[in-house]
Amino acid sequence: MTSQDGFETLAIHAGQEPDPLTGAVVPPIYQVSTFKQDGVGGLRGGYEYSRSANPTRTALEQCLAALESGASALAFASGLAAEDCLLRTVCSPGDHVLIPDDAYGGTYRLFAQVLAGWGVSHTVVAMSDFAAVRAELAARPVKMVWVETPTNPLLNIADIRALAQAAHAAGAMIVVDNTFASPYLQQPLLLGADAVVHSTTKYLGGHSDVIGGAVAVADEALATSLAFTRNATGGVPGPFDAWLTLRGIKTLAARMDRHCRNAMRVAQMLAEHPAVAEVFYPGLAAHPGHKTAQEQMRAFGGMVSFRVLAGEAAAVATCGRTRLFTLGESLGGVESLIEHPARMTHASVAGSPLEVSADLIRLSVGIEDCDDLIDDLRQAL
């Protein structure tokens, strides 16, 4: 592969040269824990033990690095394992991190209930409010700015380029959780971010059949430190999970195009529906982050959230009435999902600054026939 190759080409070929031994056109699943050494320390291709490295995982990592235009990428057992490894590699007890006021609940729980006890403190700030972030950066030394864009579940947009400049000027590093956009829609490293994290469970895997995570970085030295921590702490994906993720990635571009088209139509329908109070989708011209999203994203993604006029009970009832939108946590698979964030994915932020409104419904719009999806939502509402 060359750096001139387009995204779709890289998704199918980067890290995936036909197997030199057999010519197998997709990387085999190296379901193995250890590798024969040719004499003590005589490793073949650098492989020794699958916690340190495994060829199927290497293929996935090379592909992820290419898709994020990074120097390197590392795969993990889950998105949260990726986040934890990055945070404990970069931060030390006593460091301070700025985190979003709207983010995946599990990310907030990691900061508030795990890293806080470890001595890493945080301030919650709206990353879409650039002036507020600048003020927080000026208020104290900050080690890291953690950004999610679009956010889960409110689809807020942060200006990655502006935040990267401000963070770097203040001596902080900037990390972007790119799970909602996927590298097909947005490449934060090219906008100045130092690291990108993913729950590959979502759009990258794409089929709701595997849990995984990744970190892609601009700087090889950081990748080396991350590899050390990951080997020392052990949060690696198994070979079959790496293989499933890599297989999903091959169709990422085609799936995302369809997710984006369907989500835009769903958002437009909801915006006109009499039972709906407010729609959150960065593709709508009325969304406060629409212009920034247009500048830094190829399209607006497959996630749509909305508030129902009749309140919490109506939101919960709506989630139980859909036929095609399956009631469930997670997102980014080919099948449409519906959920109630306050009681499901974001239950862990109840009572925190990230608490979400109880009349909110979140949709992961899949790639089914969009007329069917719209009919389903209409009858449920």
Q: How far apart are CA 128 and CA 124, in angstroms?
A: 12
By beta-carbon proximity to ligand PLP, the closer residue of 28 and 106 is 106
Closest CA to 177 of 219, 224, 213, 128: 213
* Closest to ligand PLP by CB, 78 or 89: 78
Find tokens 């709506």 and name the residue: 318
Task: Report the nearest approach of ligand PLP to the CB of residue 200 (Å).
Answer: 7
202, 230, 258, 362: the active-site residue: 202
Nearest residue to ligand PLP, scored by beta-carbon proximity: 79
Residues that bind ligand PLP (CB under 6 A): 78-80, 104, 106-107, 148, 152, 177, 179-180, 199, 201, 211, 213
The residue among 105, 110, 122, 117 whose CA lies nearest residue 348 is: 105
Q: What is the amino acid identity at position 377?
A: L
Please state the closest distance from residue 112 (CB atom) to ligand PLP, in A: 15
Token look-up 């907030």 returns 108
51 noted as active-site residue:
yes
Annotated active-site residue in 5, 19, 51, 321: 51
**d(C-alpha 182, C-alpha 203), whole Å:** 6
Q: Which of 30, 47, 104, 203 is catalytic?
A: 104
* Pairing label, strands 303-308, 121-125: unpaired
CB atoms within 10 A of CB 267: 24
Distance of closest approach, residue 147 Cβ to ligand PLP, in angstroms: 11
When the beta carbons of 213 and 302 are compared against ligand PLP, the nearer one is 213
Instruction: Choose, from 95, 102, 159, 177, the residue flagged as catalytic.
Output: 177
CB of 179 to ligand PLP, least distance (A): 4
Distance between CA atoms of residues 55 and 65, nearest Å:
15
Nearer to ligand PLP, 180 or 281 (CB): 180
∠75-80-86 over CA atoms, to 5°? 65
Q: Which is nearer to ligand PLP, 79 or 366 (CB)?
A: 79
Closer of 15 and 79 to ligand PLP (Cβ): 79
* Contact criterion met (CB below 8 Å) for 54 and 239: yes
Distance CA 71, CA 84 (A): 20
Burial class, 94, CB count within 10 angstroms (exposed 0-12 / middle 13-18 / buried 19+): exposed
Active site residue 177: yes
Nearest approach in angstroms of CB 46 to ligand PLP is 27
Active site residue 104: yes
Instruction: Write down the least CB distance from residue 301 to ligand PLP, Å.
Output: 11
Q: Give the angle 69-74-75 at the CA atoms, nearest 5°.
A: 115
* Pairing mode, strands 121-125 and 360-364: unpaired
Q: List, by residue number, the catalytic residues.
A: 51, 104, 177, 202
